[in-house]
Chain A
Amino acid sequence: MTTSQGAQSDGDGAEQRLQEQFDATIAKDQRIEPRDWMPEGYRKTLIRQIAQHAHSEIIGMQPEGEWITRAPSLRRKAILFAKVQDEAGHGLYLYSAAETLGADRADLTERLIEGRQKYSSIFNYPTPTFADVGVIGWFVDGAAICNQVPLCRSSYGPYARSMVRICKEESFHQRQGYELLMTMMRGTDAQREMVQDAVNRWWWPSLMMFGPPDGDSPNSAASMAWKIKRHSNDELRRRFVDMTVPQAEKLGVTLPDPELRWNEERGHHDFGTPDWSELKRVISGDGPCNEQRVARRRAAHEEGAWVREAATAHAAKRAARSARAQEAQNTQEGTAA
């Protein structure tokens, strides 16, 4: 443990040495591990970020999960079912990573369903057609990858390691989404219209996934200094646009931004400004599906309470039974001797 007896009796001096050691680890691009000393702000920031990320995976199962029962081919059904299952798995690894920092999964779930912790605002938009499944894969998983690939080098070890696995799976999902759209674009007029309509609806919310503009992002500076986060919101947003434009051309869809054009001089695309007031509205709970998403998560949690209680009760009874059996055996052996 890092707070040894010596450190405690030594007071502020020891704390300062620990802080120096921590700063040096960060500066050398080495990993902080669960048993290492870390500043309280670092721990809190990480718990907040990892929990939000875990919540996003779990709430993010809903918009696409609604289509598993209706997927129009068995192959698409299997792909979508496996994808949504992966998201549950990602939620599990991330809650475990948060637990290495002293958080408790049940408590984090309570915070989510009571609205005290956030999840990615993108999941508060509805999925009215099957094309949404493809566009979510392409844009939303694509944006998630832009955000998350740098986190594989995050300074906190357990988070960085879970991100490696998550990013690999997210890239399957993104390709699956894009491949669905490719197939639909080769299909009927109705299918092509569905794809374009979904692109129109998801483009701006996807750009908002990178968060507010850099000048307006309160938590970014500390996260960058601690190397929890490695690139600014605007940098990642620009990267996403640059990557997505050629893919849209290949697909044959139009991205709904009249200001979007290549800027030779900057070597990047120029693009319009998302409606930041919409992002604020959705984050503050006023998006099209906020209530529905949280209500469903709450209902699942509450309706499952009797199951979790039964599992706990059974485990306790079993432990008691085996303790009694052990005691009886000991007594018998004692008598025999």
Chain B
Amino acid sequence: MSDVTDDHVYLSLTEDHGDSDARWAFGTGFEDPLHGVDTAVPATVDAAELAAYCLALGDDALVGAQRLAQWCTLAPELEEEVALANIGLDLLGQARLLYARAGQVDGSGRGEDAYAYFRDAEDFRNVRLAELPNGDFAFSITRLLVLSCWRLAVFQRLAATAPDPVLKAIAAKGVNELAYHRQFAADWAVRLGDGTEESHRRMRAALAGIAPYTAELFVSRPGFGVDPADVREETTAVLQQVLDAAGLELPEAGALPGQGREGDHTEHLAPLLAELQSVARAHPEATW
């Protein structure tokens, strides 16, 4: 306890603390998230394709983090409050790294905030499942389960084979996080599916609501990165295993027209972004 005395805590406040100070809150003390990684784009990689790919994965993460932030102070129990914030923070961290990479390689030199705060809904490339409103806890858990199974399958492949070393490093870091997200969501899906009649009914409703938005996760997109069609089998197998344990089924549903990856969105994205961007856009000259 020697480092917590009555006098020193306060005195430390006006001292200068560089961003390198290791005691700064985890993951929030750095200006350049890719500091120290070789950021040259390999000759075999098309920079525009790489940037667009990072942006799409970054948008999934940012929009997902924003939805999780909306749970803050509303979770059913304090342990879930902490866990949902943890997952939101992981996704926010992934978005920041991916945006930073996009800004390095697309030639614009934009920073993470330019992508998050100064693009409109039609410029976002997230899948629509990420932007749907939170609904009840069953809906949020089911969405998290589907998205984390899917994203983990993508990140595992990127961590093994991405031709860009920075994206590969980002994916490798994300794999551990996503494995935890999937476990958290799977545990709750089983509890809720198996728990009471009401929780089972709510899980069925959540799956029915989510089903139409799952097809676009696996639409083939040849070109840079992992082809989503290649993760369909693994993702659905894992989901099946969890749903079996929960006594639930993913209902059949046709694919909706359009794709988030092409800039097609539900009516829910624009208000989400309006909230996210409100202060930044009210003070475009400000630094924070």
Question: Do these two chains interact?
Answer: yes
What is the interface of chain A, defined by CB distance below 8 A to chain B? 58, 61-62, 65, 68-79, 81-86, 88-89, 91-92, 95, 130, 142, 145-146, 149-150, 152-153, 164, 167-168, 171-176, 178-180, 183-184, 186-188, 190-191, 243, 246-247, 250, 296-297, 299-300, 303-314, 317-318
Is B250 interfacial (CB 8 A cutoff)? no
Indicate if the CB atoms of A311 and B70 lie closer than 8 Å: no
Is B89 interfacial (CB 8 A cutoff)? yes
The 8 closest A-B pairs by CB, nearest first: A304-B76, A310-B195, A310-B199, A85-B85, A307-B76, A72-B279, A72-B280, A79-B28
15 residue pairs A–B, Cβ–Cβ below 8 Å: A58-B78, A65-B73, A69-B66, A69-B275, A73-B288, A81-B72, A85-B89, A130-B279, A168-B4, A184-B286, A187-B287, A306-B199, A308-B77, A310-B196, A310-B199
Residues of B within 8 Å of A61, CB to CB, are 72-73, 81
Indicate if the CB atoms of B77 and A307 lie closer than 8 Å: yes
Residues of B within 8 Å of A178, CB to CB, are 13
Q: How far is the CA of A306 from the CA of B138 in the complex (A)?
A: 10
The smallest C-beta distance from B118 to any residue of chain A, in angstroms, reads 11
Indicate if the CB atoms of A62 and B85 lie closer than 8 Å: no
Q: Counting chain B CB atoms within 10 Å of each CB, which of A69, A71, A180, A309 scores highest?
A: A69
Q: How far is the CA of A178 from the CA of B194 in the complex (A)?
A: 48
Indicate if the CB atoms of A81 and B288 lie closer than 8 Å: no
Residue of A nearest to B17 (CB): A175
Total A-B Cβ pairs within 8 A: 200
Residue of A nearest to B82 (CB): A88
Indicate if the CB atoms of A70 and B82 lie closer than 8 Å: no
Q: How far is the CA of A261 from the CA of B36 in the complex (A)?
A: 49
The smallest C-beta distance from A200 to any residue of chain B, in angstroms, reads 20
Given A72-B286, A81-B89, A313-B195, A307–B137 Cβ distance below 8 Å? yes
Tell me the dominant secondary structure on chain B's binding face.
helix
Q: How far is the CA of A313 from the CA of B200 in the complex (A)?
A: 11
Indicate if the CB atoms of A65 and B72 lie closer than 8 Å: yes
Indicate if the CB atoms of A188 and B199 lie closer than 8 Å: no
Q: How far is the CA of A188 from the CA of B137 in the complex (A)?
A: 41
Indicate if the CB atoms of B280 and A83 lie closer than 8 Å: no
Given A178-B13, A187-B286, A188-B285, A304–B77 Cβ distance below 8 Å? yes
Sorting the interface of chain B by its residue count into under 10, 10 to 19, 20 to 34 or 35 or more gives 35 or more
What is the interface of chain B, defined by CB distance below 8 A to chain A? 1, 3-6, 9-10, 12-14, 17, 23-28, 31, 62, 66, 69-70, 72-82, 85-86, 88-89, 92-93, 95-96, 99, 112-113, 116-117, 136-137, 190-192, 194-196, 198-199, 202, 275-276, 278-280, 283, 285-288
Residues of A within 8 Å of B72, CB to CB, are 61, 65, 68, 81, 84
The smallest C-beta distance from B272 to any residue of chain A, in angstroms, reads 9
Indicate if the CB atoms of A72 and B288 lie closer than 8 Å: yes
Given A168-B4, A183-B288, A81–B85 Cβ distance below 8 Å? yes
Residues of B within 8 Å of A146, CB to CB, are 10
Residues of A within 8 Å of B93, CB to CB, are 78
Given A85-B89, A149-B4, A70–B279 Cβ distance below 8 Å? yes
Q: Counting chain A CB atoms within 10 Å of each CB, which of B4, B26, B99, B136 scores highest?
A: B4
Indicate if the CB atoms of B25 and A82 lie closer than 8 Å: yes
Q: How far is the CA of A149 from the CA of B116 in the complex (A)?
A: 39
11 extra interchain contacts, Cβ-Cβ under 8 A, other than A73-B113, A247-B13, A308-B77?
A69-B66, A70-B279, A72-B279, A79-B25, A85-B82, A85-B86, A95-B78, A149-B6, A179-B17, A310-B196, A313-B196
Indicate if the CB atoms of A74 and B86 lie closer than 8 Å: no
